[in-house]
Amino acid sequence: MFYDRKKIKEIIYFQLEDQSGRLDKVLVEESELSRTQIQSLIKQGLVTVNGQVEKANYKLSGQELIEMQVPEEEVLEIEAQAIPLDIIYEDDDLLVINKEAGMVVHPSKGHPRDTLVNALVYHFGNHLAAGSDSYRPGLVHRIDKDTSGLLVVAKNNESHRYLSQQLMDHTLGRIYYCLVEGQMEVKQGSIEIPLARDPKNRLKYHADAQGKPAWTDFEVLESYPSASLIQAELKTGRTHQIRAHFEHIGHPIIGDPVYNRDSLNLWPTDQGQFLHAGHIHFIHPRSHELIEFHAPLPASFINLQNHLKSQTPA
């Protein structure tokens, strides 16, 4: 969603009486916009307190006059591109895709082409759910650019609502496989550590007691002298959850350019993080039956596993 300062849809005024606290939190409570939308408006200078532009963490005393300019949404036109897709299941309501590492899921102003959505629009046209916004038609969830594996796409709005509700209820199950540095002492367990955006590096998320709850179950499938193959199941779905959790416990994912930059010169790979969404299960929106899908580890995983096994003493 992108905004043009010249196209203001409406101006909203708030005369506070006794609402004190952070500017962004107060506006979330007083308006119908999300915190992300509020923070975006503040960052763009479209929110003033007593006529002055302030930051999101500005402390309100409770007597201020706030002006908020809400721009019109600019609809992003998506270019249809004949990019091949690895479709492992399709019916009238949904499809399941095995995304390759390196493919961005949806377009943005800075990356409008060569994404999964560009391919979906080419292959399915109008036979996709509207999605949560104009540049994510059909998408129920997403995975990072350098993460490979399974994604479910809705073909109609009813299916999108049904699947999205399962995502919110944490009943849409997702299991990932990753190669992490080091041998883990605990072979099976849970990581329940809240996560928030790192204020020192906006590309990262880090452990924060005030962050959003994040829960990952894990099991060590194979151990090598310098690495481990992990199965990780998301119990919540926070951004970068698995990547941030394993970095926090001292076993960052091999090849991760954000959470493990030091590994980029240590391992024979340039593919990005070794993280693969290998399993997904959910209740079908029409049949109401549980269905599940698997995607084998990509060749890059197998090659690195063979390299790690070759280092194991006989």
In this predicted structure, what is the pLDDT of residue 202? 78
**Residue with the larger pLDDT of the pair 228 and 76:** 228
> Are 184 and 251 contacting, i.e. CB atoms less than 8 angstroms apart?
yes
CATH fold for the domain made of 87-169: Pseudouridine synthase (3.30.2350)
Residue 297 has pLDDT above 50, yes or no: yes
| C-beta of residue 49 within 8 angstroms of C-beta of residue 58 | yes
User: How far is it, in rounded angstroms, from Cα 128 to Cα 93?
Assistant: 9
pLDDT category of residue 12 using cuts at 50, 70 and 90: confident
- The answer to whether the CB of 98 falls within 8 A of the CB of 90 is no
Which residue shows structure tokens 């509020």?
Answer: 38
Segment 276-289, tens digit of pLDDT: 999 999 999 999 99
Res. 197 pLDDT band, cuts 50 70 90: confident
Higher pLDDT, 271 or 108: 108
Q: Specify the pLDDT at position 175.
A: 98
Q: Does residue 1 carry a pLDDT above 70?
A: no
What are the respective helix, strand and coil percentages of the chain, to the nearest 5? 20, 35, 45
Q: For residue 10, is pLDDT > 80?
A: no
What average pLDDT score do residues 13-17 get?
74
* CATH architecture entry for 2-74: Roll (3.10)
> What are φ and ψ of residue 71, in 5° steps?
-75, 160
Catalytic residue, chosen from 144, 169, 262, 270, is: 144
Taking residues 10-32, report their average pLDDT: 79
Average pLDDT value over all residues in the chain: 89
- pLDDT at position 4 is 39
Does the pLDDT value for residue 105 go beyond 50?
yes
pLDDT of residue 61: 87
pLDDT for 28-78, tens place per residue? 877 777 788 899 899 999 999 998 999 999 999 888 889 888 887 666 789
CATH topology match: 2-74 vs 174-281+288-310: no
pLDDT (0 to 100) of residue 73: 65
Any idea which of 19-23, 143-147, 250-254 has the lowest mean pLDDT?
19-23
CATH code given to domain 174-281+288-310: 3.30.2350.10
pLDDT of amino acid 6: 42
Give per-residue pLDDT as tens, 120-174. 999 999 899 987 667 889 999 999 999 999 999 999 999 999 999 999 889 999 9
Query: Domain boundaries in the chain?
Result: 2-74, 87-169, 174-281+288-310
Model confidence over 79-93: pLDDT tens digits?
Answer: 999 999 999 999 999
Q: Sorting pLDDT into bands at 50, 70 and 90, what band is 3?
A: very low
Determine which helix (DSSP H) or strand (DSSP E) holds 13, and give its type and residue range. Answer: strand 2-15
Contact 249, 185 (CB under 8 A): no
pLDDT of the residue at 133: 67
Question: Which pLDDT band holds residue 268 (cuts at 50, 70, 90)?
Answer: low
pLDDT at 247 (0 to 100): 97
Q: Please report where in the chains the tokens 């500017």 appear, as a residue.
A: 23
CA–CA separation, 28 vs 40, rounded Å?
12
* pTM metric for this prediction: 0.77
Helix (H) or strand (E) holding 137: none
Q: Which residues in the chain belong to E strands, given as ranges?
A: 2-15, 21-22, 47-49, 52-53, 59-60, 65-74, 87-90, 94-99, 148-154, 173-181, 188-192, 195-197, 205-207, 215-223, 227-234, 275-283, 290-294
Instruction: Please tell me the predicted confidence (pLDDT) of residue 309.
Output: 87
Active-site annotation holds for 144: yes
d(CA 311, CA 314): 9
